[in-house]
């Protein structure tokens, strides 16, 4: 066992992951370490700034050492041709992020798959390769946590909530604690912030373009160009959202009850599906297409040899990135000896659009945390 901890052996195991992915049809990608910072901040929020290693170029543009590899691989894919083309990439390399007392540089491996229309099969393949990645390090006793952002999106759309509430609920779905606060607010008529009540009242019911120009003019007159890293345009959008939320009276108790019932569903995927279909039948809400996709994916996962009963699915489970659009998952050491996920990922069909693609591109992938896998594998 001691020989397995030498640098040569550790590098060999990590490179073995790339071999595994290449045998499965993934081509190795090596995107630049230095990346535009604004892309990560726009997608993950300004709170990420304190964890990035930042610099600037000669023109003053802010750059960062890449904090992960998914976005750099997406950017490389976009630069290489039609965004819609089918392509599969794998990678292994350093990423950089301040993690408190832990090392700021660490190894990440993973895969990204673009352009596959057979989403359920692609999701199942992604999960199977994630499990193979863990087994490559001797980690077979795993806890599989899974959720589905697409299911929640379909439910919210079926509820026909006001657009501002739909955007807010979807944005906050992945953020711990905030969704519960949203539901509490939805039960009652929101109270506007007194400091901004006049502006918000003036905006309610206004034409969006005119309202945006009005707020932008107010901020410009006040000499405000940015607050907390937000531009004038972003501040204006926030005012418009608050005005729309303020115009929304509290929802009917049965509507919030549906959301609460949905978010309480948990179990293995088959058991969860039965509860979800019962919810759809009881409420006559139309989100059956998302449920059919969920069922199809579960079938592909089972056909791939994964014990579906071992998966801990929860409707309330998400990952703290706004661009996920479907299945999300994390793999943990089932004994709890490693506190962080070993592997994590999911479906993110919106991401390439946010990065510049004119059309959504089917996309799914995962990241592997080499240090955590090494730690978990050392206990076997």
pLDDT of residue 200: 45
Decide if 188 contacts 333 (C-beta within 8 A).
no
Other CB atoms within 10 Å distance of the CB of residue 199: 17
- The Cα 249–Cα 11 span in angstroms is 58
- Give the confidence band of 38 by pLDDT, cuts at 50, 70, 90: very high
Beta strand ranges found along 119-201 (DSSP E): 142-148
- Tell me which of 145-154, 171-180, 298-307 is least confident: 171-180
More confident residue, 143 or 102: 143
- Give the confidence band of 255 by pLDDT, cuts at 50, 70, 90: confident
- Tell me which of 118-122, 179-183, 272-276, 374-378 is least confident: 179-183
pLDDT of residue 31: 96
Which CATH superfamily groups domain 2-31+66-149+317-377? Bira Bifunctional Protein; Domain 2 (3.30.930.10)
pLDDT of residue 1: 46
pLDDT at 107 over 90: yes
- The Cα 95–Cα 135 span in angstroms is 23
Nearest to 4 by CA among 369, 334, 380: 380
pLDDT of residue 203: 47
Encoding tokens for residue 295? 């069922």
Instruction: Tell me the β-bridge partners of 148.
Output: 327
- Give the confidence band of 44 by pLDDT, cuts at 50, 70, 90: confident
Q: What is the pLDDT of residues 186-237, one digit of tens each?
A: 665 444 444 444 444 444 555 556 656 666 666 677 666 555 555 655 565 5
Say if residue 307 is exposed, middle or buried (CB neighbours under 10 Å; 0-12, 13-18, 19+). exposed
Domain ranges (residues) in the chain? 2-31+66-149+317-377, 194-246
More confident residue, 238 or 345: 345
The count of C-alpha atoms lying within 13 angstroms of the C-alpha of 138, restricted to the half-sphere facing its C-beta, is: 10
- The Cα 191–Cα 172 span in angstroms is 19
Alpha-carbon distances, residue 248 vs 159, 189, 214, 241 (angstroms): 15, 7, 21, 11
DSSP letter, residue 305: T
pLDDT of residue 188: 54
Beta strand ranges found along 222-261 (DSSP E): 226-227, 230-231
pLDDT of residue 29: 97
pLDDT at 246 over 70: no
- Tell me which of 76-80, 159-163, 357-361 is least confident: 159-163
The bridge status of strand 142-148 relative to strand 311-314 is parallel
Over the chain, what is the mean pLDDT? 84
- The Cα 296–Cα 122 span in angstroms is 11
- The Cα 115–Cα 74 span in angstroms is 12
Percent of the chain's residues with pLDDT above 90: 59
Decide if 139 contacts 377 (C-beta within 8 A).
yes
pLDDT of residue 301: 98
More confident residue, 65 or 10: 65
């Amino acid at each position: 066992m001691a020989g397995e901890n030498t640098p040569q052996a550790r590098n060999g195991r990590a490179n073995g992951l790339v071999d595994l992915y290449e045998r499965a049809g993934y081509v190795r990608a090596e995107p630049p370490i230095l990346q535009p910072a604004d892309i990560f901040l726009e997608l993950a929020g300004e709170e990420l700034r304190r964890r990035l290693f930042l610099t600037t170029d000669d023109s003053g543009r802010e750059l960062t050492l890449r904090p992960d590899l998914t976005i750099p691989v997406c950017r490389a894919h976009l630069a290489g041709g039609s965004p819609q083309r089918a392509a599969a990439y794998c990678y292994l390399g350093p990423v950089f992020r301040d993690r408190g007392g832990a090392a700021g540089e660490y190894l990440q491996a993973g895969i990204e798959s673009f352009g596959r229309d057979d989403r359920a099969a692609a999701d199942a393949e992604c999960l199977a390769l994630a499990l193979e990645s863990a087994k490559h390090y001797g980690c077979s006793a795993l806890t599989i946590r899974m959720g589905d952002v697409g299911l929640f999106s379909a439910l919210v759309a079926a509820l026909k909530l006001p657009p501002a509430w739909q955007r807010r609920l979807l944005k906050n779905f992945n953020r711990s604690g905030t969704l519960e606060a949203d539901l509490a607010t939805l039960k009652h008529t929101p109270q506007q912030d007194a400091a901004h009540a006049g502006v918000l009242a003036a905006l309610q019911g206004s034409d969006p373009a005119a309202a945006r120009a009005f707020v932008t003019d107010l901020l410009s007159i006040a000499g405000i160009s940015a607050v907390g890293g937000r531009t004038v345009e972003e501040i204006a959008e926030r005012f418009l959202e608050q005005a729309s939320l303020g115009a929304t009276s509290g929802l009917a108790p049965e509507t919030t009850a549906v959301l609460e019932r949905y978010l309480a569903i948990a179990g293995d995927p088959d058991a969860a599906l039965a509860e979800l279909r019962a919810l759809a039948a009881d409420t006559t809400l139309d989100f059956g297409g998302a449920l059919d996709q969920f069922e199809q994916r579960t079938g592909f996962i089972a056909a791939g040899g994964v014990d579906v009963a071992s998966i801990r699915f929860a409707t309330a489970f998400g990952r703290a990135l706004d661009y996920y659009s479907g299945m999300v998952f994390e793999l943990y050491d089932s004994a709890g000896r490693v506190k962080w996920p070993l592997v994590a990922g999911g479906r993110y069909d919106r991401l390439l659009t946010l990065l510049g693609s004119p059309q959504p591109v089917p996309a799914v992938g995962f990241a592997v945390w080499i240090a955590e896998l090494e730690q978990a594998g050392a206990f076997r």
